[in-house]
Amino acid sequence: MQAALDYLERNRDRFLKLLLEFLEIPSISAQRAYDEHTARAAAFIRARLDDAGFKTGLYHGDGLPTVYGSRIEGDVRPTLLLYGHYDVQPPDPLDLWDSPPFEPVRRDGILYGRGTCDDKGQLFMHLKAAEAYLKTRGDLPLNVKYIFEGEEESGSVNLPDFIESNTELLKADVVVISDTALFGSGVPSITYGLRGLAYVEVTLTGPDRDLHSGVYGGAIENPVNALAKIIAGLHDEDHRVTIDGFYDSVIPLSDDERATFASLPFDDQEWIEEVGVDTARTEKGYTVLEGTTARPTLDCNGIWGGYTEKGAKTVLPSQASAKISMRLVPDQTPEDITEKIRSHFEKHLPPTMKLTFTDLHGGYGALVDTNSPAMKAAAKAMEGVYGQKPFFVRTGGSIPIVAEFKKLLGLDTVLMGFGLDSDSIHSPNECFGLDRFHQGIQTIIRFMDIYKG
Amino acid sequence: MQAALDYLERNRDRFLKLLLEFLEIPSISAQRAYDEHTARAAAFIRARLDDAGFKTGLYHGDGLPTVYGSRIEGDVRPTLLLYGHYDVQPPDPLDLWDSPPFEPVRRDGILYGRGTCDDKGQLFMHLKAAEAYLKTRGDLPLNVKYIFEGEEESGSVNLPDFIESNTELLKADVVVISDTALFGSGVPSITYGLRGLAYVEVTLTGPDRDLHSGVYGGAIENPVNALAKIIAGLHDEDHRVTIDGFYDSVIPLSDDERATFASLPFDDQEWIEEVGVDTARTEKGYTVLEGTTARPTLDCNGIWGGYTEKGAKTVLPSQASAKISMRLVPDQTPEDITEKIRSHFEKHLPPTMKLTFTDLHGGYGALVDTNSPAMKAAAKAMEGVYGQKPFFVRTGGSIPIVAEFKKLLGLDTVLMGFGLDSDSIHSPNECFGLDRFHQGIQTIIRFMDIYKG
């Protein structure tokens, strides 16, 4: 292991140069005009695996290719399944970038460019960790399988099919993903919880056309007012969601977990200032951190109805609509929660209204056992690099693929990410600190050695 | 009087021909490209008054001209102030018209074209009633002053100034306006109540930018949910408005009035079917007719916030907005009610939100004494034409100029209109029944004779 770490130190500049080459490829999966580039990114990464002696394959399915690579060092060693994605978000709006998104540059130790953090830079750490072993001892400490997806930023629509069709190929002991953030700058952390999502759209229809509010107002229930009433009733005074059975499957936070949350270096006031609000508003009895990561929530993502242009138009609208999403925690399922909010709307619908209900999107949350050998190994690896034990943290966002790995392959995922919330992923001036890039490689080198047992 | 009525019968075709000429002028006040035509309509009507021996004037002010004409027959006679408007609504969408809007045609006894009912056709009835007297007896039964406005369809922005600057010129005993509808086809009615209007816009701002609902959801009050909650609280279970003091100045419906409402030929079920809803929703204790005409109401005219396009975007919006209007009844004032809803929002605003409140528009309601000599004369005139006593009715819409006449000149208004709700004013295929055009002239001839005393 020490030889591998030394190799990394000697090759920092060369690794960076190669990463720049990878980042220059505009692999924008959401835009068909870039398909050729996205395919080039897949070829680039496959070539690196070929060079390193991996057995590789390119899987096309219905969409952009998935790159597969494996090195099986022996049956008795554990097998890692490493997932990453080589596609990136569109760079718009271009005029807000300080330097062109696909001409990555280093400024003050930070690398700027689309994909530096999400996820080309983090994916690349794994390739370089493997290279460090292969160049210094000729093999890897354990078996490794890579899958690098090209459609993560456009919904991973084909990945579940790929996994389901290749369960034997993907057989492993644990999944590792480096596509999350550290808890804070210089604060090592491993994500063990993700929230799921249920996202619906509702439309209430009252009169069959827009009416004059003078002539009809006073005897017609207004769809905007009626929708507002149902939405208002979705939370109680304690800011708990009132949908029947909403909390039935929620795994409660244990005392240990809450103690851990409380020990994290997190300042509510700083957070409030950063968000630009006067006060936070959480479910009663929970902190900001618990509320945003470990408790289920309900938010309107959009609402519309009637006249929304300038000035005063005296319309009594025929319809009002809203998009409503719920962040879920284990063991809530999007299917169950979607049915429950549908029932809630049906139950509270006034007799004057018709309801149109659309299930738009769903994804499972995940909770990983922090005491598994892989999580312990990851924690020890991080401690070796950062000089302090990492925090186990939960994040409020969703990575639905984690639940797919569990469902389709029975595998837990170690979320070992080195981003920061300030890395502007999905935004202009995306960046990744080179210190974190190297700490990431060091951590992976250590993790492979520790986890092999 | 009989001679005047006979004259009308002999001249039906000639009157119609002249009306068609008037209707052919596209006097669209909202569109500057039509200003020349609108001025031509003013000149047309002034020429008719000149021909009839009226003393006339054209008042320009800051906008389109107001035509003035007067015939003072003697000091002892009462003076009518007749208000009408010679401008019309834009005709769009043109492709929905069965015949061109400014090429009026008669089909099955009904005249189709823009302005046939609102208000050129109704204004014209007054000119022809005067002509009938002047051609048969050489003078009018009473003093008459006309003001014909050219900006009613674009907000009458200059009319209050004109009235205020010309109180001596406009001195009269009563105002007459023919710009409303009969209660139903063949159902004579006089409008004695109009509702006022207070129209506001509110915006709630939470976080200073749109946030990711996964990362922040659970500790941020959502402006859409917060706005929905305030809106939901604007009505109670009895569908009464909950704003403090909202009903303080409302003149209650008298038992007599309610009996009159109950006696009107109005069928709730027919109304419900026409509107296309399953049930009506009125303030508890009031009928559909009372709710839509004689009680104050509150409606959201529009609402918007967050993501409103196709699909699922997990945004936690920074802002949510709504347009809210209240129809007022005497003696509610728009100023008072606007302040009260402002206070309501301020009082119920969660500490997490900032409020932007805009007063968009306001107008006074009106209630005219049905026992005044002018109203009695109007009722008797109608009875003479229709063979039955007219109903005194209230309408839910607003004609703010009625309150201006009261405020600036101290005058009540007799709303003697001959339209029908089915005349499609402001819509394609606007029309006016020729029977009603002639009944209108007959009524006015009778009214002048009866009211002169």
SS3 per residue for chain B: CHHHHHHHHHCHHHHHHHHHHHHCCCCECCCHHHHHHHHHHHHHHHHHHHHCCCEEEEECCCCCCEEEEEECCCCCCCEEEEEEECCECCCCCHHHCCCCCCCCEEECCEEECCCCCCCHHHHHHHHHHHHHHHHHHCCCCCEEEEEEECCHHHCCCCHHHHHHHCCCCCCCCEEEECCCECCECCECEEEEEECEEEEEEEEEECCCCCEEHHHHCCCCCCHHHHHHHHHHCCECCCCCECCCCCCCCCCCCCHHHHHHHHHCCCCHHHHHHHHCCCCCCCCCCCCHHHHHHCCCEEEEEEEEEECCCCCCCCEECCEEEEEEEEEECCCCCHHHHHHHHHHHHHHHCCCCCEEEEEEEEEECCEECCCCCHHHHHHHHHHHHHHCCCCEEEEECCCCHHHHHHHHHHCCCEEECCCECHHHCCCCCCCEEEHHHHHHHHHHHHHHHHHHCC
CB neighbourhood size of B105 (10 A) = 13
Residue B375 corresponds to which amino acid? Answer: M
Residues in chain B: 453
Q: Which of B225, B233, B288 sits opposite A299 (nearest CB)?
A: B225
Chain A residues inside the 8 Å CB shell of B207: 275-277
Domain total in chain A? 2
**A201, A253, A314: best to mutate for the B interface, most B CBs within 10 A:** A314
Show the tokens assigned to B91: 């005709």
Query: What is the least distance, in Å, from the CA of A349 to any CA of chain B?
Result: 13
Among the partner residues A214, A221, A271, nearest to B398 by beta-carbon distance:
A214
b/e for B39-51, b at 16 or more Cβ within 10 A? bebbebbbebbee
Is there a domain that residue A164 lies in?
yes
**Minimum CA–CA partner of A426 in chain B:** B212
Residues of B in Cβ contact (< 8 Å) with A296? 218
**d(CA A340, nearest CA chain B) in Å:** 19
Interface touch B303/A228, C-beta < 8 Å: yes
Flag whether residue B453 sits within 8 Å of chain A, measured between CB atoms.
no
The closest of A295, A347, A290 to A326, measured between CA atoms, is: A295
Radius of gyration of chain B (CA): 24
Interface list for B 342-361 with A (CB within 8 A):
350-352, 360-361
* Nearest C-alpha neighbor of A434 from the set A101, A6, A108: A108
Identify the bridge partners of residue B322 per DSSP, sorted by sequence position: B202, B303
Residue where a domain stops, chosen among A330, A345, A362: A362
Q: Locate B235 and state its tokens.
A: 């009505």
In angstroms, the CA B229 to CA B245 distance is 20
Between chains, do B303 and A320 touch, taking CB under 8 Å as contact? yes
CB contact under 8 A, B360 and A311: yes
Min Cα–Cα distance to chain A from B317, Å? 6
Of A362, A377, A404, the residue that ends a domain is A362
A100 plus A129 within the same structural domain: yes
Same domain (yes/no): B385, B304: no
Chain A residue with Cα closest to B426: A212
Query: What tokens appear for A15 in the block?
Result: 């690794």
Contacts of B229 in chain A (CB under 8 A): 228, 231-232, 235
By C-alpha distance, which of B198, B199, B200, B202 is closest to B224? B202
CB count, 10 Å around CB of A76? Answer: 9
Within 8 A of B227 by CB-CB distance, chain A residues are 228
State whether B306 and A302 contact (CB < 8 Å).
Answer: yes
Under a CB-based contact definition with an 8 Å cutoff, are residues B382 and B142 in contact?
Answer: no
Chain B interface disruption, residue of A213, A326, A425, most B CBs within 10 A? A213
Burial B400-432 (b: 16+ CB within 10 A, else e): bbbbbbbebbebbbbbbbbbbeebbbeebbbbb
Instruction: Give a yes or no: residue A286 inside a domain.
Output: no
Taking only residues 407 to 436 of chain A, the set having a beta carbon closer than 8 angstroms to any beta carbon of chain B reads 421
Residue with tokens 């001209």: B65
B293 with A218: Cβ contact below 8 A: yes
H/E stretch holding A447 reads helix A434-451
Closest CA to B205 of B230, B229, B218, B222: B222
Q: Note the pLDDT of residue A153.
A: 87
Give the one of B281, B300, B317 whose C-beta lies nearest to A306's C-beta. Answer: B300
User: Within 13 Å, how many C-alpha atoms sit on residue B263's CB side?
Assistant: 12
Alpha helices for A61-219 (secondary structure H): 120-137, 159-165, 213-216
Can you read off the two tokens belonging to residue A116? 């530096």
Chain A residues whose beta carbon lies within 8 Å of the beta carbon of residue B155: none
Token pair in block for residue A224: 């905007």
Closest C-alpha to B398, from B122, B258, B198: B198
Out of A149, A151, A152, A423, pick the active-site residue: A152
Residue B275 lies in a domain: no
Q: What is the CATH number of the domain that holds A184?
A: 3.40.630.10
Distance, CA of B337 to CA of B341 (rounded, Å): 6
Quick one: closest CA in B to A279, which residue?
Answer: B352
Asked if A276 reaches chain B (Cβ–Cβ under 8 Å), the answer is yes
| 3-state SS class at A299 | strand
Of B308, B340, B362, the position where a domain reaches its end is: B362
Q: Is residue B300 part of a domain?
A: yes
A432 & A335 share domain: no
- Are residues B74 and B124 part of one domain? yes
Interchain contact, A293 vs B218, CB within 8 Å: yes
Q: Tokens representing B76?
A: 């002892």
Distance, in Å, from the CA atom of B450 to the CA atom of B444, rounded to the nearest integer, reads 10
Provide, as residue numbers in chain B, all residues whose Cβ is less than 8 Å from the Cβ of A420: none
Of residues B197, B214, B219, nearest to A288 (C-beta)? B219
Are residues A315 and A182 both part of a single domain? no
Predicted pLDDT of residue A36: 95
Q: Which residues in chain B touch residue A327, judged by CB atoms under 8 angstroms apart?
A: 213-214, 217-218
Residue among A411, A453, A418 at smallest CA distance from A143: A453
Q: Do A302 and A441 sit in the same domain of this protein?
A: no
Q: How far is A213 from chain B (nearest CA, A)?
A: 7
Residues of B in contact with A220 (CB under 8 A): 275, 277, 280-281
Residue B121 and residue B40 in one domain? yes
* Residue of chain A whose alpha carbon sits nearest to that of B241: A218
Residue B33 touches chain A, beta carbons under 8 Å: no
Are A337 and A197 a contacting pair, CB within 8 Å?
no
- The low-confidence residues of chain A, meaning pLDDT below 70, are none
- Alpha-carbon distance A212 to nearest alpha carbon in chain B (angstroms): 8
Range of the domain at B213: 196-250+296-362
Instruction: Using CA coordinates, name the residue in chain B closest to A232.
Output: B229
How confident is the model over A189-232, as pLDDT tens digits?
999 999 999 999 999 999 988 888 888 999 999 999 999 999 99
Bridge partners (DSSP) of residue B110 are: B107, B433
Q: Do A340 and A398 belong to one domain? A: no
For residues B315 and B210, what is the distance between their CA atoms, to the nearest angstrom?
Answer: 6
Helix ranges (DSSP H) in A25-178: 35-51, 120-137, 159-165
Question: How much is the pLDDT for A104?
Answer: 98
| Rounded distance between C-alpha atoms, residue B89 and residue B27, angstroms | 8
Distance CA A149, CA A64 (A): 8
Using CB atoms and an 8 Å cut-off, which of residues 295-334 of chain B contact chain A? 295, 297, 299-308, 311-317, 320-323, 325, 327
Q: Which of A87, A257, A423, A430 is catalytic?
A: A87
Cα dihedral B141→B145→B149→B152 (10° resolution)? -70
Q: Are residues B229 and B337 in the same domain?
A: yes
pLDDT reported for residue A237? 96
Peptide bond into B435 cis (omega under 30): no
Q: Does a structural domain hold residue A277?
A: no
Cβ neighbours of B323 in A, within 8 Å = 306-308, 312-313
Residue B440 is predicted with a pLDDT of: 98
C-alpha distance from A331 to closest chain B C-alpha (Å): 17
Those residues of chain B that have pLDDT short of 50 are none
Co-location of B417 and B351 in the same domain: no
Q: What is the CATH number of the domain that holds A338?
A: 3.30.70.360
In a domain, A334, yes or no: yes
Which of A211, A301, A352 is opposite residue B213, by nearest beta carbon? A301
Calpha distance B315→B6 (Å, rounded):
73
Mutate to test the interface with B, among A225, A394, A402 (most CBs of B within 10 A): A225
- Token pair listed for B38: 């609108």
Residue B271 in any domain: the answer is no
In whole angstroms, give the CA distance from residue A208 to residue B208: 37
Residues of chain B found within 8 Å of residue A322, distances taken between Cβ atoms: 224
Contact B225 A217 (CB under 8 A): no
Q: What residues 186-205 of chain A have any CB closer than 8 A to a CB of chain B?
A: 195, 197, 199
Integer Cα distance of A146 and B260 in angstroms: 83
- Tell me, yes or no, whether B16 and B133 share the same domain: yes
Is A261 within a domain?
Answer: no
- Considering the domain architecture, whether residues A328 and A306 belong to the same structural domain is answered as yes
Distance from C-alpha of B5 to C-alpha of A319, rounded to nearest angstrom: 50
Q: Kindly report the nearest CA distance between residue A225 and chain B, in angstroms.
A: 6
Could you tell me which residues are beta bridge partners of residue B85?
Answer: B149
Give the nearest partner residue to A304 out of B234, B303, B327, using CB atoms.
B303
- Tell me which residues of B are annotated as active site: 87, 152
Q: Is residue A409 packed enough to be buried (19+ CB in 10 Å), middle (13-18) or exposed (0-12)?
A: middle
Q: Which two tokens stand for residue A33?
A: 């005009």
Residue B441 near residue B128, CB atoms below 8 Å: yes
Instruction: Please give the model's pTM, rounded to 2 decimal places.
Output: 0.86
